[in-house]
Amino acid sequence: MDWHMSRSGTSAKPLSAACIAVNHLGYGGKPGELQLAASDPKQWCIDCLTTPIFSSELPGSKQVLADVTHYNQANKQAKKDGQPLDEKIASQARKTLRVLSEDTLRAAINSEQSIVFRLLDFFSNHFSVSAQGRVMAGLASTLEREAIAPNLLGNFADMLLAVSQHPAMLIYLNNENSFGENSRLGKNKGKGLNENLAREILELHTLGVDGGYSQQDVIELAKALTGWSVQKSLNAEENGFVFRAVGHEPGARTLLGQRYTQKGVQQAEHMLKDLAGHPKTAEFICKKLIHHFVGELAYPELLNTLTQSWLTSQGNLHTVMSALLSSDELWQLPARTKFKTPREFLISTVRLLSADNIYGRKNLTGILTDLGQQPFSAGSPAGFSDENQTWLSPTALMTRADWANLVAARFKRINTEALMQDAFAGSLSQSTYQSVLRAESREQGLALLLMSPEFQWR
């Protein structure tokens, strides 16, 4: 099959508005969802902009930090006593990562507003952290739930601050022990400045690599962020962000030509607020939103519209997303423009089949790992690639085909013709439609449908 052909096959049909709403913007339709969106697709999309909901009984970052503290103390005592460490303690962080990642996946699968979960995944990847080591294994999956989701439809400045003060980001980018050379801790303990968080805030989180900042700007922001640290104790309620004044570099700072004379934690807070509202930040993030939600071509008029919406609303993400969801460029897409990532493929498959248990006993995070996108494993602050070509390798496609065959074997009695009518509303190419109907079995027909260009592309 030629994956570089027209996204909808050799006889592509124009995408219906409902198909754009549910299958392109959302994570694919559950039974009946396409028909529900068809009456007013734009409004259906805007109505999806509600705060994501997760299971409330699961551990958060405060408990993770308490567990890590308990582990470190127990490990130290075990070594002192010459005893092996309790394996249950050692595996707790990985269990937290798996449970929270699984819960987020299931929330996206079961949601009636899957567009907002796509937006959550977008910003979770924008503020990427990786589960490297025991501490980050426990903390990585808490960042999107505690700092991103609550601010997902509010002002970007609030999200940026919440992310920058979250233990996962502070520890991942080594800011918890970043202290100014002229601070009390810097002088007495010789602990120095770490530029990682400041550099990624400027390069990845706000202005972008071409945003016009200098190395001196990185240093100035890094100095303002000194003392931004993490409290870790056995008492979970005490854990989280802490400002260590004794580690903060004293004095005024200058960032992008503007002088900041605030003292203490407020200095960097003011800097972050100004960065969030900067025109370069608006342009950089709006361009990424278009690339993800619309397509990989240049859309200069839409970019200008979204950038102005960002600036006039002071970075209100609900306002910006509403402008994107109302744009002509989106609703006039002639074909599918984005190849699904493994995460998108998995979620849309489970939604299509309305399946709680997709096959066997393997959990969703395990399946996602097999497909090549293990949660929180991007390996760099840049996150997973959002480029089509990244996910189109022959090996990756063979892995998807193998998995599609496993799924089809489990759902071999499903009515594929009814599934096509319900989920695609006549938007399938004639070649795909006929190949599924003429398959030797329903099992083979379902595998062909899952691997069709129309399902692999959105």
pLDDT in tens, 428-454: 999 999 999 999 999 999 999 999 999
Q: b/e per residue, 318-338, with b = 16+ CB within 10 A?
A: ebbbbbbbebebbeebebbbb
Inter-residue contact 445 to 416 (CB < 8 Å): yes
pLDDT mean over 185-190? 83
Among residues of the chain, what percentage have pLDDT more than 70? Answer: 95
Q: Taking 50 as the threshold, does the pLDDT of residue 6 lie above it?
A: no
H or E stretch covering 228: strand 228-231
H or E stretch covering 189: helix 184-189
HSE-CB of 78 using CA atoms within 13 angstroms: 13
pLDDT of residue 422: 86
pLDDT of residue 13: 64
Q: b/e per residue, 95-122, with b = 16+ CB within 10 A?
A: ebbbbbbbbbbbbbbebebbbbbbbbbb
pLDDT mean over 135-152? 97
pLDDT tens-digit series, residues 401-413: 999 999 999 998 8
Cα–Cα distance measured from residue 96 to residue 138, given in angstroms and rounded to the nearest whole number: 6
pLDDT band (50, 70, 90) for residue 4: very low
Give the angle subtended at the CA of 354 by the CAs of 350 and 357, to the nearest 5°: 65
Q: Is 251 left (phi over 0), alpha (psi -120 to 50) or beta?
A: left
pLDDT band (50, 70, 90) for residue 360: low
Residue 231 dihedral angles phi and psi, to the nearest 5°: -90, 130
User: Bridge partners of 259?
Assistant: 254
Cα–Cα distance measured from residue 437 to residue 261, given in angstroms and rounded to the nearest whole number: 70
pLDDT band (50, 70, 90) for residue 84: confident
pLDDT of residue 425: 80
pLDDT mean over 61-79? 92
Q: Taking 90 as the threshold, does the pLDDT of residue 362 lie above it?
A: no
Q: Taking 60 as the threshold, does the pLDDT of residue 2 lie above it?
A: no
> To the nearest whole number, what is the mean pLDDT of the chain?
93
pLDDT of residue 356: 64
What string of DSSP letters covers 266-335?
Answer: HHHHHHHHHHHT-HHHHHHHHHHHHHHHT-SS--HHHHHHHHHHHHHTTSBHHHHHHHHHT-HHHHT--S
Inter-residue contact 407 to 359 (CB < 8 Å): yes
Cα–Cα distance measured from residue 268 to residue 274, given in angstroms and rounded to the nearest whole number: 10
Among residues 175, 150, 179, the alpha carbon closest in space to that of 164 is found at 175
pLDDT of residue 359: 57
Q: Taking 60 as the threshold, does the pLDDT of residue 361 lie above it?
A: no
Cα–Cα distance measured from residue 449 to residue 456, given in angstroms and rounded to the nearest whole number: 9
CA dihedral of 274, 275, 278, 281, whole degrees rounded to 10:
-160
Considering only residues 169 and 94, tell me which one the structure prediction assigns the higher pLDDT.
Answer: 169
Q: In this structure, which long-range contacts are made by residues 37-40, counting pairs with CB atoms below 8 Å and at least 24 apart in sequence? A: 38/425
Cα–Cα distance measured from residue 365 to residue 363, given in angstroms and rounded to the nearest whole number: 6
pLDDT tens-digit series, residues 232-268: 999 999 999 999 999 999 999 999 999 999 999 999 9
pLDDT mean over 212-228? 98
